[in-house]
Structure 1
Amino acid sequence: MQNTQHAMFVSLCLSALAGAAAGLLFGLPAWGAVLGLLGWGYYQIRQFHKLQAWLQANDDSAPPEADGHWGELLDELARTQKTDRSREQSLQAIIRRFQQSSAALQDAIVIVDRNNNLEWWNRSADKLLGLRAVSDRGKPVMNLLRDPRFIRYFRKGQYSEPLELPSPVNSDLHLQYQITVFGEGDRLLVARDITRLVRLEQTRQDFVANASHELRTPLTVIRGYVETFLDQDLPRPLARAMGQMQAQARRMESLVNDLLLLSRLESSNHIADEHQIQLRPMLEQIHQDARALTQTQEKNQVINLQLDSDLDLAGQELELHSAFSNLVFNAVRYTPAQGKITLRWWTDTHGGHFSVTDDGIGIDSIHIPRLTERFYRVDESRSSSSGGTGLGLAIVKHVLVRHGARLSIDSQPGQGSTFSCHFPPEMLIGTSGTRPAEAADAQCHQARLD
């Protein structure tokens, strides 16, 4: 740039000197210098117009011919333009390749901007999610994917676990949603067709359910005959054998019932409909049943109930009753005599919480990650003697998943255990039927409008 400026200044001076020299021939050197400067200016204007016309053409044509500093400038601009065009073509090739590869994917890929508006998606999103390139671009994603479960998942902002839902355009298709945050608040939404996996899992669940159902009839017959024989005056060894048969038949019936319940819970990760559950009477009933169980087992345990909140939950009452009672009855079974068990329900800014705390022998940390697996037992002999089926915590886990909740376990050997169920704020309901989380969202939205 400095060389160009220097060359222009030199050419300006030479033009003025040449005009002055020519003016001396006529005795008018000043006018000659002025005419030389005017000629120099006219030449510069012509060269500038040539440059402007070439730049406006914006094609691959060669730059106009020019001498001196204008020629150097045009050659430098031509080289820069060629480099930029090459770089642009390379970037366009990368974009085209990305679009072609994303279009070939079977998974739906959607980019959502920081304002939750649709920015871009591939062809599979049209088929799986029903998006339309012409009319849906720039619209809020929650206006097009309106399932309340997806809206809760999207707003929560915790995407470590995927979400499984039917396709909004075809209920026979099952999709798995996975969201990744990138950039400055943008989100990458991937929807995968898992219909085949869901059907395979359904086949397995149907097999377990059918087998469990078929076992009910022979078990009922066996237990009926055993009870009939026990009503008779049998010899002591035979009566003892019949009593053991009766206990094992009852245990098998309990196992079959738990298998049927677990199979039904596994059929879906979400409850079909939600109802307001009055927690106070339900927990008071579970408390009474637990006290009756400890008296039956002659353990004389102290069982306390603390209700620190009047808020209720939205969900399925029978499922939550089963989950809560499983935790409480496990505490009764596995806590030694004279032990203390505390049931507590409370709420805070993070949602609703139900915990069962005992002062029993505790659980080693190596067992905690596997406690919710089917038939997993910390101590086989102790669990068998308690009459458990090994499915209680698996049932608890699936019930909580269906309600958008999670189970946490805090236990140390010799210091007791605490099993806690944590429900998100959107599952809480007031006594009047209003949801505090929705009311807070509405107030924040109104505040933004104001």
Structure 2
Amino acid sequence: MRHSSNPMILPLAGTALVGVVIGGLVSYPGWGLGISLLAWSLLQARHYNRLMKWLSRELDELPPEDTGPWGDLLDQLARRHKRGVIREQRLQSAISRFQQCTAALSSAIVIIDRDNHLEWWNRAAGKLLGIDDRDRGKSIFNIVRDPRFIRYYRKGVYQEPLQLISPNNHDMYLQYQVHRFGDDDRVLVARDVTRLFKLEQTRQDFVANASHELRTPLTVISGYLETFLDQELPRPLQRGMSQMQQQAKRMESLVADLLLLSRLEATQHTSDEQPIHIHSLIAQIHRDAADLSADREHSFNLDIDPDYDLIGQELELQSAFSNLVFNAVRYTPEAGNIEISWRVDAKGGHFSVKDNGIGIDPIHIPRLTERFYRVDESRSSASGGTGLGLAIVKHVLMRHGAQLSIESRSGMGSTFSCHFPSDMIRSIKQVANGQH
């Protein structure tokens, strides 16, 4: 039913007209108009009071019966209220189901606001992280105090999860993953990976022990082969002994890489970070790469920022950098060009190795850092690689909070870059003044 724009005008006009008519009958039309308007106002006040009493209640009961415009108003309010109650019930049901769902999860879920304060968490967060009702509104750094977690959280790069000991149970290992949502809010997910950690530890121990046990027989075999090759031997025997010596050296390199990789996997972070004179480190790697190149006539170009050094574990970084440079030498044809650079900008430090060699099909790039993954089995075997070099690079960079990026196309060369966060960079002046 369609109503006029102001449904109160017609009743008001009718009341005024009746008052004027009645007042005119007794020769006092003005008094009749005034009394009728007063009576009409008192009636509207009564309707208004009834409406306010109903609104002041919980709105569980039906609205009072009324007629005219006030009745229409009450009916519309009642319908809107009913729709609101239905929406509220649906929302409450959804919230209840969400809470039941998260309570059933074994992983901890914590919602953190833009100021790093705890807003909400599920039941598992109490068991895994030790959060209780008293922690509402506190900083997440009051709950997880490990400096590695604080560094990971503040960095804002959450592609890789972080694995640490639980702050509530030192026999439990947790894997943390952070996701952004809303207005720079975050949700922290922590799951128990103790069983996986122990299985991985068993695997690492097995590889380390097996590799260690292989070193002694390989050393003996290599020693005897070297002694035999110093003697005058028939040509077929000489050829066989030489091939055996080459394979023994390759096995020794493989065992050395396995031992190094097992040690790197044992912990996620370095414990003895020290200033590194990266210019001397790169110069030494350049000399070793030139020796490896031998008569292949590779051209080496160095572009080194003279004002900044790096902090970290020198032997590990030397292994990572040399793996990248030696790979460039192995897979770049004769007279090829290899560029080694170290630069620093607002985002941090960047060590890069670029070559114009045979390149890599982009389909292989996501798997290059896997253990023993080979783009071309015959090509890798001929180059003398162990298949562990890039896996070692990946783990060294993870322990230094850095990342590896790879750009390559078949036949167009490759660029391998190590990106270090700005807090791992030190200016030469800082190092000279003893500032770490």
| Fold match (TM-score > 0.5) | yes
Q: Does 1:375 align with 2:372?
A: yes
1:448 is matched with which residue?
Answer: none
CA contact (8 A) 1:4 1:69 kept: no
Give me the whole-angstrom Cα distance separating, in 2, the residues matched to 1:39 and 1:386: 107
Spell out, residue by residue over 1:304-360, the C-alpha distance to the aligned partner (whole angstroms, 9 max, x if none).
Answer: 433224312222211111111112223333444444433221122332122223344
> Does the 8 Å contact 1:362/1:417 carry over to 2?
yes
**Match in the other structure for 1:311:** 308
Residue 395 (structure 1) aligns with? 392
In the alignment, residue 131 of structure 1 is paired with which amino acid? I
Aligned AA (1:101): C
- Partner of 1:55 in structure 2? 55
> Are positions 1:408 and 2:405 aligned together?
yes
Instruction: Give the paired residue count.
Output: 432
C-alpha distance in 2 between matches for 1:403 and 1:246:
37
Deviations 1:7-56 (A, max 9, x none): 53333334344444554665544323322222222222122112111111
Structure 2 gap segments, 5+ residues each = none
Tell me how far apart the structure 1 counterparts of residues 65 and 201 of structure 2 sit (CA, whole Å). Answer: 77
TM-score by length of 1: 0.84
1:333 to 321, 330, 339: 330
Q: Which shows bigger deviation, 409-418 or 423-432?
A: 409-418
1:134 counterpart SS class: helix
Q: Report the residue type matching 1:328 in the other structure.
A: V
Question: Partner residue of 1:248?
Answer: 247
CA distance in 2, matches of 1:157, 1:26: 87
Which residue type is aligned with residue 371 of structure 1? L
Deviations 1:131-186 (A, max 9, x none): 3333332x443454443433343334333333333333334333333333333333
Q: Distance in 2 between matches of 1:69 and 1:362?
A: 82
Helix, strand or coil: the match of 2:133? coil
* 1:309–1:347 CA contact under 8 A, matched in 2: no
Tell me how far 1:99 sits from its aligned partner. Answer: 1.5
Match of 1:446 in 2: none
What SS does the corresponding residue of 2:8 show, helix, strand or coil? helix
| Cα distance in structure 1, aligned partners of 2:7 and 2:426 | 81
Q: Which residue of 1 aligns with 2:98?
A: 98
The question of whether the paired residues in 1 share the 8 Å contact of 2:353 and 2:416 is answered with: yes
Q: Equivalent residue for 2:196? A: 197
1:340-359 paired onto structure 2 within 5 Å = 340-359=337-356
Change over 3 Å in CA distance of 1:349–1:66 after alignment to 2: same
After superposition, residues 151-166 of structure 1 pair within 5 angstroms as 151-166=150-165
Give the corresponding residue for 2:167: 168
2:40 partner letter: W
Q: Distance in 1 between matches of 2:360 and 2:7?
A: 88
Aligned counterpart, 2:426? 429
Aligned identity (percent) is 62
- Aligned equivalent of 2:264: 265
Query: Secondary structure of 1:111's match?
Result: strand
1:320 and 2:309 are equivalent in the alignment: no
* Cα distance in structure 2, aligned partners of 1:326 and 1:226: 28
- Write the distance in 2 (CA, Å) between the matches of 1:54 and 1:165: 58
> What does residue 45 of structure 2 align with?
45
Query: Within 2, Cα distance between the matches of 1:302 and 1:363?
Result: 21
Give the TM-score of the pair, scaled to structure 2.
Answer: 0.87
Tell me: CA distance 1:27–1:176, structure 2 relative to 1, closer, same or farther (3 Å).
Answer: same
Higher mean alpha-carbon deviation, 383-392 vs 225-234, is at: 225-234
Distance 1:365 1:21, change over 3 A: closer
Q: CA deviation at 1:235?
A: 4.7
Alpha carbons 2:161, 2:175 under 8 Å: kept: yes
Identify if the C-alpha distance between structure 1 residues 90 and 324 changes in structure 2 by more than 3 Å, giving closer, same or farther.
Answer: same
Cα distance in 2, alignment partners of residues 339 and 15 from structure 1: 104
Q: What is the identity, as a one-letter code, of the residue corresponding to 2:208?
A: A
Deviations 1:232-258 (A, max 9, x none): 555554444333333322221111111
Classify 1:201/1:41 alpha carbon distance in 2 versus 1 (closer, same or farther; 3 Å).
same
The amino acid that maps onto 1:203 is T
Instruction: Work out the CA distance in 1 between the residues paired with 2:410 and 2:76.
Output: 78
Alignment-mate amino acid for residue 119 of structure 1: E
Q: Secondary structure at the match of 1:203?
A: helix
SS of equivalent residue, structure 1 residue 344: strand
Structure 2 CA distance, aligned partners of 1:19 and 1:362?
101
Moved more, 340-349 or 360-369: 360-369
- 1:274 corresponding residue in structure 2: 273
- What's the counterpart of residue 442 of structure 1? none
Query: Which is worse superposed, 365-374 or 53-62?
Result: 365-374
1:83 counterpart = 2:83: yes
- Higher mean alpha-carbon deviation, 277-286 vs 168-177, is at 168-177
Distance (Å, rounded) in 1 between the aligned partners of 2:408 and 2:34: 99
Q: Give, in whole Å, the separation in 1 of the partners of 2:368 and 2:67.
A: 86
Over aligned residue pairs, what C-alpha RMSD do you find? 3.0
Deviations 1:269-291 (A, max 9, x none): 43345322221222222222223
Stretch moving more, 38-47 or 412-421:
412-421
TM-aligned CA distance change 1:43 to 1:350, over 3 Å: same
The verdict on how the C-alpha distance between 1:26 and 1:148 changes in structure 2, with shifts beyond 3 A counting, is same
Change (3 A) 1:50 1:82: same
Structure 1: give runs of 5+ residues left out of the alignment: 440-450
Deviation track 1:81-128 (CA, whole Å, cap 9, x = no partner) reads 222222212211211221221222222222233444332222222322
